[in-house]
Structure 1
Amino acid sequence: MNFKHAALVSLLPVALLSAVVAAEQTTSLSAPHTIEPKLYVTKPQKLGNGRAWVYVALDARGAPLALGVSMEKGALEGLPQHPNTTSRCFDRNRNGRMEEGECIGDYELRFTLPEGEAARTLAPFKWVGLNWNPHGHPEPAPKPYAAPHFDFHFYLADQAEVRQLRPGACGELIDCEDFRKATKAVPAKYVHSHHINVGGAVPDMGNHLIDSKAAELAPGGKFTHTFIYGAADGRITFYEPMITRDYLASAPNMCAPIKQPQAWASDGFYPTTYCVRYSEHTGRYTVSLERFVQRKAS
């Protein structure tokens, strides 16, 4: 183990949250803050009664320490309580209006990774989608995922490719032709065997390969946080920690391993853990991908 790198990771939450607070005073997306580790922070967007940012943390050598989302404490308050009737909708009964069950119902913020060193280092990751789901996910998603929660999508596919997945009558309201494309099997070596296809393909997003061994799917299990691989057209297209609002509000401080595939389709740095934290000092929540390892395509 590189002990200097490990020490930076352990200090990351304190340094990170300080940098995000400082970022409120800047409009730059590409200039790093003069703090160790180097932090690149996007412009904020309104979320609930607060704001959210995406950040990239690099060590002194330019290797990634974290890619994540930071949210003010107020972001968990004042959130919409009813599904979004303009989000990923399809008029199944063709009556000219959107009714219950005809919209996925999420509220989404999209962030492009900061340009320059941060984007180059974290390729193939390209952008982040933060989704608030006031009524959770409908079937075919497993029932525990009906709880109000956030999806943190860290995309490897670009936005234009994701937008090609149109609304329709299949899966989770996706066009049936696009459903077949989204659920095309990922070669076994590129996804951990526990992550399986349950037909959870979503328009303007992709398929969701859930962890079949996740604690919340066991009898009596409770959904607090989980990790999902996203896919489309036989490729992994996003990494997704999925976190309930109640769990975030409990002020957690945890990291969990990401189950690793046997191989990777593209060269780059890939995370081995995801973390969920709250800092009382700064009043910030963070959800991040961390402990990156450089992989070669095979």
Structure 2
Amino acid sequence: MKHNLFYVLAAILFFGCTKNETDSQPDRIMGQSAAMGSGKVTTWMSLDAQGNPASIGFTMTKEALESMPSIKTVSAYMLALPDEAIAKTPYKHVMIDWNPQGHEPAGIYDVPHFDFHFYMQPMNEVMAIPAYEKAPAKFDNVPAASYLPVDFVKGPGGVPAMGAHWSDVTSPEFKGQPFTETFVFGSYDGKVTFWEQMVTLDFLKSKPALDKAIRQPAQFQVPGYYPTRYSIRTNADGSQDIAMDGLTKR
């Protein structure tokens, strides 16, 4: 999956974990902001009533969504999560990939869409992942089956600065239905390295109110708070919250 794409990092931005003074949700701890098209994207973590992590995610403004380029080259935006999220969850940063032509496999994911990666690897380790041909043993060194949900199958090869991708073969797009959104896991050198939402541009433009369960592995390699659900929430101003919810200590 995605191994034939040429990736350009349009932004690798670390502004520090600063508060967004315009945010109206008091339970949110704000992370980084970055320019994205004509708008911006900002990471955050929300807390429950007891002060424990409840959700991690990012907010993408309406202007960002409406101004993504249609050129063939993929754009990628990398932002750190808040320090508090890094301390209490296994997740360290978000990579937002815009695929204006989609990617393989043909006939399934070759439509304009976003890949929203929530990485457990440090940034320097992610950037050091080479092309599959240069390290096939590390791409093919898969985690123990208990660390991935049932019915998730590894795609061929792997992607530089990402790793191997595991798709849910029970998803509608593998049963003849059009792809709108799905959930993917990633791995590299024996470790689960990211959890990922994949969402089409058309689906986001439909202003969805998505809330779905994440199929859970039997075991977790790293202790911390992990999500049990994922969501897309469209706000009154047209911005959208992309979130991993229901954080549970494992």
Separation in 1, partners of 2:191, 2:85: 24
2:82 to 91, 98, 114: 114
Partner of 1:228: 184
The one-character-per-residue Cα deviations of 1:218-243 (angstroms, maximum 9, x if unpaired) are 02x11110000011011110000000
Q: How does 1:5-16 map to 2 (within 5 A)?
A: none
Partner of 2:237: 282
Distance verdict in 2 for CA 1:32–1:109, change over 3 Å = closer
1:44 to 33, 36, 45: 33
Q: Secondary structure at the match of 2:146?
A: helix
Q: Secondary structure at the match of 1:42?
A: strand
Distance verdict in 2 for CA 1:290–1:37, change over 3 Å = farther
Partner of 1:182: 139
Q: Which runs of no fewer than 5 residues in structure 1 stay unpaired?
A: 1-26, 85-105, 167-173
Q: Secondary structure at the match of 1:267?
A: coil
Q: Which amino acid in the other structure matches residue 87 of structure 2?
A: R
Partner of 1:250: 206
1:155 to 102, 108, 119: 119
Q: Which runs of no fewer than 5 residues in structure 2 stay unpaired?
A: 1-14
Q: Which has the higher contact order (CA 8 A, sep 6+)?
A: 2
Q: CA RMSD in A?
A: 2.0
Q: Secondary structure at the match of 2:87?
A: helix
2:98 to 123, 129, 132: 132
> What's the offset of the Cα at 1:191?
0.4
> What's the offset of the Cα at 1:39?
0.9
Which moves more between the two structures, 43-52 or 230-239? 43-52
Q: Secondary structure at the match of 2:219?
A: coil
Contact residue 36 and residue 59 of structure 1 kept, 8 A: no
Contact residue 32 and residue 38 of structure 1 kept, 8 A: no
The one-character-per-residue Cα deviations of 1:232-270 (angstroms, maximum 9, x if unpaired) are 011110000000010000000011111101111111111
2:62 to 73, 76, 79: 73
1:165 to 119, 124, 129: 129
Contact residue 227 and residue 245 of structure 2 kept, 8 A: yes
Q: Which has the higher helix share?
A: 1
Q: Which amino acid in the other structure matches residue 294 of structure 1?
A: K
Separation in 2, partners of 1:53, 1:187: 34
> What's the offset of the Cα at 1:200?
4.9
Q: Secondary structure at the match of 1:131?
A: strand
Q: Secondary structure at the match of 1:176?
A: helix
Separation in 2, partners of 1:198, 1:160: 24
Percentage of identical aligned residues: 32
Q: How does 1:79-90 map to 2 (within 5 A)?
A: 79-84=68-73
Q: Secondary structure at the match of 2:227?
A: strand
Q: What TM-score comes out, normalization by structure 2 length?
A: 0.87
2:193 to 231, 237, 246: 237
Q: Which amino acid in the other structure matches residue 244 of structure 1?
A: T
Partner of 1:169: none
The answer on 1:144 being equivalent to 2:108 is yes
Partner of 2:160: 203
The one-character-per-residue Cα deviations of 1:9-36 (angstroms, maximum 9, x if unpaired) are xxxxxxxxxxxxxxxxxx9725587976
Q: Secondary structure at the match of 2:109?
A: helix
Choose 1 or 2 for highest CA Rg.
Answer: 1
Separation in 2, partners of 1:107, 1:160: 19
Q: Which has the higher strand share?
A: 2
> What's the offset of the Cα at 1:176?
1.3
Contact residue 108 and residue 131 of structure 1 kept, 8 A: yes
Contact residue 189 and residue 261 of structure 1 kept, 8 A: yes
